[in-house]
């Protein structure tokens, strides 16, 4: 299991999963020219959503992000992951049959869409041995279903023919052998990246010291709904279903049991959390989230507000912030921190976590301000020293 994967997903996610399977013609093409920015181009995206977009940014070898020039919050994400894995094909057919998943005819060997409660839509399709997901976040889009369907048809057609080998200006990979093997002065400091957490991407802050110590904090937000009444609670989002019992202790404290055994302290209005990584917390502030909630059982008034809590494990520390409204809206923030030592490994380094049985991360320094981390599943995330990268996660 990846060191990043601390959330057990139960639904399709806001940031889509996809995979490339088997050894058919399409997988040969993709493995030779692995670049999600080639599946659909800027011109394809502009035609579909009706507004100019910036050049696609490769989040890693498997994911490409397009942002509208006039409104960067209007985005299209294309994801394509390599590796033969029959379980992923089974997962596709299982997800396609779930309630709320709308089948879409005429695309590849099968397709379905799923709408997000915060205004987005994603379409996943199977073409030969390729599984691709297109995610559209565009609250002003008049017909998001038509837009994402149009893009999927282009992508499915393009997968059936050889893709051109293009080195995009936004590519963040480096030639083989360019990793630096120097000392701490070359890599010590703060690094930021969009990291895989379960089947989605979160915000990451990696602090490296000249003493060869490291601290990695990854944070995600799970917007959804909450029901809390008569001592029982349940919070649902695309990423997770959490539930258990609760007990109120005064006006500014309550505790939960079950999946989350946490004591929650109420935050004063307009005050940030005390322990949550401050930079990661601030980076969530610019993300608009709109959730349409059907009429549910009322939330007990004593639980309305913004709360913070913590949980300590042998190999990690977890910090939570939970906003609960009387209208059943839940925003659950989770930051997971781990520490460890940096050990050399040929032309790269290993991040070995303290008291953890999980395999270490592989760290490859590409330049003074560029590195990549690879987990044991082969998933690569790109990192640099500019915290503005967090706005893309």
Cβ(273)–Cβ(308) below 8 Å: yes
Domain positions in the chain are 19-159, 177-393
d(CA 285, CA 64): 23
pLDDT at 44 exceeding the cut of 80: yes
Q: What separation in angstroms does the CA of 151 have from each of 191, 220, 353, 382?
A: 34, 28, 41, 26
Residue owning tokens 């480096």: 174
**φ, ψ (nearest 5 deg) of residue 282:** -65, -35
The predicted model scores a pTM of 0.56
Return the axis-axis angle of helices 144-159 and 25-32, rounded to nearest 10°: 90
- What distance in Å separates the CA atoms of residue 282 and residue 291, rounded to the nearest whole number? 21
Chain segment 251-281, per-residue pLDDT in tens: 899 999 888 899 999 999 888 899 999 999 9
Determine contact, residues 352/339, Cβ cutoff 8 Å.
no
Tokens of 139: 């609250």
pLDDT tier, 81 (very low <50, low <70, confident <90, very high otherwise):
low
Q: Does domain 19-159 have CATH number 3.40.1000?
A: yes
Residues 6+ away with beta carbon under 8 Å from 127: 26, 108, 109, 156, 159, 160
| DSSP structural state of residue 43 | H
Task: For residue 232, name the pLDDT band (cuts at 50, 70, 90).
Answer: very high
- Tens-place pLDDT, residues 137-186: 877 777 888 889 989 998 888 776 544 433 333 333 333 333 334 455 66
Using the structure block, give the residue that is written with the tokens 């270490």. Answer: 360
133, 17 contact by CB (below 8 A): yes
355 alpha-carbon distance from chain centroid:
26
Q: Alpha-carbon distance 200 to 7, whole Å?
A: 10
């Amino acid at each position: 299991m990846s060191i990043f994967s601390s959330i057990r997903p139960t639904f399709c996610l806001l940031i889509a999963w996809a995979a490339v399977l088997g050894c058919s013609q399409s997988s040969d093409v993709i493995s030779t020219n692995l670049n999600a920015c080639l599946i659909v181009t800027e011109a394809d995206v502009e035609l579909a959503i009706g507004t100019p977009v910036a050049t696609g940014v490769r989040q890693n070898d498997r994911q490409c992000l397009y942002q509208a020039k006039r409104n960067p919050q209007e985005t299209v994400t294309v994801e394509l992951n390599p590796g033969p894995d029959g379980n992923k094909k089974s997962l596709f057919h299982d997800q396609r049959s779930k309630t709320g998943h709308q089948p879409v005819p005429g695309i590849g060997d099968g397709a379905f869409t799923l709408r997000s409660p915060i205004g987005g839509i994603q379409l996943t399709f199977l073409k030969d041995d390729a599984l691709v997901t297109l995610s559209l976040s565009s609250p002003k889009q008049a017909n998001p279903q038509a837009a994402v369907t149009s893009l999927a048809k282009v992508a499915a057609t393009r997968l059936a023919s050889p893709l051109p080998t293009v080195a995009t200006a936004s590519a963040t990979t480096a030639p083989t052998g360019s990793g630096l093997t120097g000392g701490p002065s070359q890599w010590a400091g703060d690094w930021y990246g969009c990291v895989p957490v379960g089947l989605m991407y979160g915000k990451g802050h990696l602090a490296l010291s000249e003493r060869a110590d490291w601290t990695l904090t990854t944070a995600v937000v799970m917007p959804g709904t909450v029901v809390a009444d008569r001592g029982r609670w349940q919070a649902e989002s695309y990423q997770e279903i959490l539930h258990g019992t609760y007990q109120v202790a005064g006006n500014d404290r309550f505790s939960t049991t079950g999946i989350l055994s946490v004591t929650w302290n109420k935050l004063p209005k307009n005050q940030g959390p005390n322990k949550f990584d401050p930079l990661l917390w601030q980076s969530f502030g610019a993300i608009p989230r709109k959730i349409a909630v059907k009429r549910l059982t009322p939330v007990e008034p004593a639980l309305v507000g913004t709360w913070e809590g913590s949980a300590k494990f042998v190999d990690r520390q977890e910090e939570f912030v939970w906003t609960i409204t009387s209208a059943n809206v839940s925003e659950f923030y989770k930051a997971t921190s781990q520490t460890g030592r940096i050990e050399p490994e040929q032309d790269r380094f290993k991040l070995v976590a303290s008291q953890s049985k999980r395999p270490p991360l592989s760290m490859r320094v590409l330049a003074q301000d560029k590195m990549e981390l690879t987990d044991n599943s082969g998933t690569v995330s790109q990192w640099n020293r500019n915290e503005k990268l967090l706005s893309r996660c």
